[in-house]
């Protein structure tokens, strides 16, 4: 009786610190302005990038997906280990049938033993180019991060932008048996930056050993948590990134972007 009662107390204590985090994702076509032009895209809840999911270790995630777009699609939770919920993993025709246009699906999975900075994205065709968002798993209440307390957390997702319908980009590449056309720009949190002179009219969910670095190199789909100290003068700064080629025979000139300004730029242009 004592053992059974002790087990019940431990289980109740564990459940008391977990929550059910619910989101509704409306997937539909919208029009956004990028690189000086309006472009129709498929997005979640009317924004690029999509909503950020905030949760804690041990929580249960429930996402109600309503597909109002003209395309079949699924969603994948990149880096999440699906404990006894493989049907919520997302790869189409592998763990589930695609959600048809006009259909709906509910994803439900648990985050026990998982923490870190992850992301979710469409797992159908090139729709992942515009259907994506951050998935942040923090420690349970009362538990600390395995690193010093930070002043602010800023999720950053690096992506690509095409001045074209991304579904057609993939379709044309498949039909012609050639590589897809190159993207028109790289993006940070869905935006290509302030270098386009437009008109003014309208890593998995586990922490690794800490180490100091000067450059962060990420493969497609990878995630990483980076801590840095704000030790520069007050001002406006740029973040820049560039493709990396490890093959020794590849020679490609990449022009750098200044990331420190003596003064803040005197004008920014809308994109």
- How is 3-22 classified by DSSP, letter by letter? HHHHHHHHHHHHHHT--EEE
More confident call, 261 vs 49: 49
d(CA 19, CA 175): 47
- State the Cα angle at 165 between 160 and 169, rounded to 5°: 75
Full set of structural domains in the chain with CATH: 20-271 (2.60.40.420)
pLDDT, mean of residues 221-245: 70
- State the average pLDDT for the chain: 78
Does residue 167 sit in helix, strand or coil?
helix
Q: Does residue 13 carry a pLDDT above 70?
A: no
Instruction: Tell me the Cα Rg of the chain.
Output: 21
Quote the CA–CA distance of 171 and 160 in Å, as a whole number. Answer: 18
Tokens, residue 217: 């190199």
Residue 60 in contact with residue 70, Cβ under 8 Å?
A: no
pLDDT band at residue 75 under the 50/70/90 scheme: very high
**31-39, long-range: CB < 8 A, 24+ apart:** 33/202, 33/270, 33/271, 34/161, 34/163, 34/185, 34/191, 34/192, 34/271, 35/161, 35/163, 35/184, 35/185, 35/192, 35/196, 35/198, 35/271, 36/196, 36/198, 36/199, 36/271, 37/163, 39/163
Q: Tokens 């997302």 belong to which residue?
A: 90
Structure tokens at 237: 């700064």
Pair of tokens at residue 54: 């905030």
Whole-angstrom distance, CA of residue 145 vs CA of residue 257:
33
Residue range 150-173: mean pLDDT, rounded: 88
- Of the ranges 111-115, 218-222, 224-228, which is most confident? 111-115
Question: For 20-55, how does the pLDDT look when each residue is reduced to its tens digit (9 = 90+)?
Answer: 999 999 999 999 988 888 999 999 999 999 999 999
Pseudo-torsion of CA 229, 254, 181, 42, nearest 10°?
20
pLDDT digits over 90-136, tens only?
A: 898 999 999 999 999 999 999 999 988 899 999 988 899 999 999 99
Q: Per the structure block, which two tokens stand in for 257? A: 């972007």
CA 69 to chain centre: 20
> 122: closest CA among 78, 79, 160?
78
| The predicted structure's pLDDT at residue 148 | 80
pLDDT at 201 over 70: no
Distance CA 45, CA 145 (A): 31
Whether the predicted pLDDT of 64 surpasses 50: yes
* Model confidence, pTM: 0.70
pLDDT at 16 over 70: no
Task: Report whether pLDDT(173) > 80.
Answer: yes
Confidence check: pLDDT of 268 > 60: no
Please state, in angstroms and rounded to a whole number, the distance separating the CA atoms of residues 245 and 237. 26
**pLDDT band (50, 70, 90) for residue 77:** very high
The model's confidence at residue 235, banded by pLDDT at 50, 70 and 90, is confident
The predicted pLDDT at position 244 comes to 62
């Amino acid at each position: 009786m004592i053992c059974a009662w002790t087990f019940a107390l431990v289980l109740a204590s564990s459940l008391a610190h977990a929550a059910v985090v619910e989101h509704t994702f409306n997937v539909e076509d919208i029009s956004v302005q990028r690189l000086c032009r309006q472009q129709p895209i498929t997005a979640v809840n009317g924004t690029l990038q999509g909503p950020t999911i905030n949760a804690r270790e041990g929580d249960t995630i429930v996402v109600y997906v309503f597909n109002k777009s003209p395309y079949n699609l699924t969603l994948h939770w990149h880096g999440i280990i699906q404990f006894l919920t493989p049907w919520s993993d997302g790869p189409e025709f592998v763990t589930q049938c695609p959600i048809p246009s006009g259909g709906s699906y509910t994803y439900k999975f648990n985050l026990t033993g998982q923490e870190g900075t992850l992301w979710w994205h469409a797992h159908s065709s090139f729709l992942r180019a515009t259907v994506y968002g951050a998935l942040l798993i923090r420690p349970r209440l009362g538990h600390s991060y395995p690193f010093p307390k930070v002043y602010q957390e800023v999720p950053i997702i690096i992506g690509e932008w095409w001045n074209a319908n991304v579904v057609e980009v993939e379709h044309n590449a498949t039909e012609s048996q050639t590589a897809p056309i190159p993207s028109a720009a790289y993006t940070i949190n869905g935006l290509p930056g302030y270098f386009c002179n437009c008109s003014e009219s309208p890593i998995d969910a586990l922490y690794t050993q800490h180490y100091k670095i000067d450059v962060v190199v990420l493969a497609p789909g990878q995630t990483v948590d980076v801590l840095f100290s704000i030790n520069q003068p007050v001002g406006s700064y740029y973040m820049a990134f560039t493709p990396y080629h490890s093959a020794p025979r590849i020679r490609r000139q990449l022009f750098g972007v200044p990331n420190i300004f003596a003064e803040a730029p005197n004008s920014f242009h809308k994109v």
